[in-house]
Amino acid sequence: MRLAFRTAAALLAGGFLLTSVIAAAAQTQGSGPPVQSEQKPPDQAKGEQKPADQATAEQQAEARVLEEIEQYKHAEALLPLSAGSAECVWTGRRIASLLWRDDVDTARRYIDLYDRFGCSAEHLKLAFRCLIRQGPIDPKAADRLAARVHTCWMDPDGSTTAASQATTSGPTAKSGTIPN
């Protein structure tokens, strides 16, 4: 008697579970044919204007890509081959950023890649020294760190400029403190 009761209860619970899954699937997929007004032919969808937010986001992303390409071309023209090649610029800037954020383990893995490309260890050292000499940056301002790293990569011997001073956060750090 108990076995029959347990079996019946299990079948009933399984039935409820199965019907709820089927109902959820039907709601997700739609229970009938698609309404013609909701679906538009592909040629009409392409001709429509995109929402302003999406269009500006795409334009900004495109502008960032073009800016990045220009940075690589500028680095190739300005720096010697071992520091100006795109793979050295890409890995070197990441290493400097990782070291700044105290992520030494990840930086070490990138350094192995940097060495494999035959990039200049001296240039990396000078760029990181330039980054350190400019003082602390707001840890929440990743774009400022990236800009400063790029500036130091392009001109590691350059002195602190007004633009790099503007990227520092808050009051001048006291001597003996560790930058964030």
pLDDT at 139 over 50: yes
pLDDT in tens, 123-138: 999 999 999 998 888 8
Q: Does the residue 23 lie in any domain?
A: no
Ranking 4-8, 28-32, 79-83, 92-96 by mean pLDDT, the lowest is 28-32
3-state secondary structure the chain: CHHHHHHHHHHHHHHHHHHHHHHHHHHHHCCCCCCCCCCCCHHHHHHCCCCHHHHHHHHHHHHHHHHHHHHHHHHHHHCCHHHHCHHHHHHHHHHHHHHHCCCHHHHHHHHHHHHHCCCCHHHHHHHHHHHHHCCCECCCCHHHHHHHHHHHHHCCCCCCCHHHHHCECCCCCCCCCCCC
Domain that holds residue 83: 64-166
For residue 53, being part of any structural domain is answered with: no
Residue 69 lies in a domain: yes
The answer to whether residue 76 sits within a structural domain is: yes
70 within domain boundaries: yes
Say yes or no to pLDDT of 62 above 70: yes
b/e 140-156 (16+ beta carbons within 10 angstroms → b): eeeebbeebbbbbbbeb
Q: How many domains, in total, are found in the chain?
A: 1
Who's near 166: CB < 8 A, 6+ residues apart?
A: none
User: Which letter, b or e, does each residue of 37-54 get, where b requires 16 or more Cβ atoms within 10 Å of its Cβ?
Assistant: eeeeeeeeeeeeeeeeee
Is 83 part of any domain?
Answer: yes
Asked if the structure places residue 107 within a domain, the reply is yes
Model confidence pLDDT, tens digit, residues 95-115: 999 999 999 999 999 999 999
Residue 114 located in a structural domain: yes
**Residue 149, pLDDT above cutoff 60:** yes
pLDDT at 167 over 50: no
